[in-house]
Amino acid sequence: MGFNENIANIRAGIAEAARAAGRDPADVTLLAATKTRTSGEIRAAVAAGITACGENRVQELTAHLADDAYRGASVHFIGHLQTNKVKYVVGKVSLIHSVSSEKLLRAIAAQADKLGLVQDILLEINLAGEASKSGFPPEQALDAARMAGQLKGVRLRGLMCIPPPALRPGGNLQFFEALRQLAVDIRREIGHNKILDVLSMGMSGDYRDAVAAGSTCVRVGSALFGPRPSALPEGSPPPLPHDGRRPVNEHF
Ligand SMILES: *Cc1c(COP(=O)(O)O)cnc(C)c1O
């Protein structure tokens, strides 16, 4: 299965969910989640019509930028970001989706200030209160939005969430609706009309539900590129080294 077919399938799913919700499918960006993918795979996705790529890891972002792999698409950062790595991201991506703490927010603003630019950001919200995930608890989102509004190095564009994997179809609808409502509430409180228009939510397994609930950006990896190497079922033999040969000292 090629990119063209995968992209067509995903776009059809987005369009169907959008129309059913009375929305314009053109208001939803299909962002390719490119973690573990090669520069060649990214180029092929862009050639097939992908207009936005999202990276999780600073190292991969840096390598793919050096390769000029994203040419023709915008680049986003969607993964966990440590404060000591913001210099590799700020000013190099059009949007940082994963601003998950006050400390990170301040570090991003400070770096943007230093470079004399304004970095577009989203606040990541930990809706399900999962200890394993980063993000602001929903009840702290308004304060974080107010703080972002006072830092001149950042421009708050909206909210992002990564709910737990949906256990059944429609299982994450409640989280997506909660994120949308949170954005509405914050917008009302802080009085911004033009900003906070981005809702980054929905992945391979649940993007239709996210679009139904108002997503403006779905982040899709495996439905576009195929399963990730790290996503092999437990008990599978280890993947072969890149040259396809087994190490000589391994016994089978
Ligand atoms: C990996 C990843 C995705 C895409 O996940 P798939 O299930 O492969 O579509 C989306 N968002 C974030 C933050 C990710 O890390």
Going residue by residue through the chain (252 aa), what tens digit of pLDDT does each one get? 588 999 999 999 999 999 999 999 999 999 999 999 999 999 999 999 999 999 999 999 999 999 999 999 999 999 999 999 999 999 999 999 999 999 999 999 999 999 999 999 999 999 988 888 899 999 999 999 999 999 999 999 999 999 988 878 889 999 999 999 999 999 999 876 557 899 999 999 999 999 999 999 999 999 999 998 765 554 454 444 443 343 343 333
Pocket test for ligand 1, best of 31, 56, 218 (most atoms within 8 A of CB): 56
How far is ligand 1, taken at its centre, from the CA of residue 219, in Å?
6
Q: pTM of the prediction?
A: 0.90
Can you give the pLDDT at residue 17? 98
DSSP result, the chain: --HHHHHHHHHHHHHHHHHHTT--GGG-EEEEE-TT--HHHHHHHHHTT--EEEES-HHHHHHHHHTTTTTTSEEEE-S---GGGGGGTTTTSSEEEEE-SHHHHHHHHHHHHHHT--EEEEEEB-TT--TTS-SB-GGGHHHHHHHHHH-TTEEEEEEE--PPPPSSTTTTHHHHHHHHHHHHHHHHHHT-SSS--EEE---TTTHHHHHHTT-SEEEESHHHH---GGGSPTTPPPPPPTTSPPPTT---
Measured from the Cα of 205, ligand 1's closest atom is: 7
Q: Which residues line ligand 1 (CB under 6 A)?
A: 33, 35, 56, 78-79, 162, 203-205, 219-223
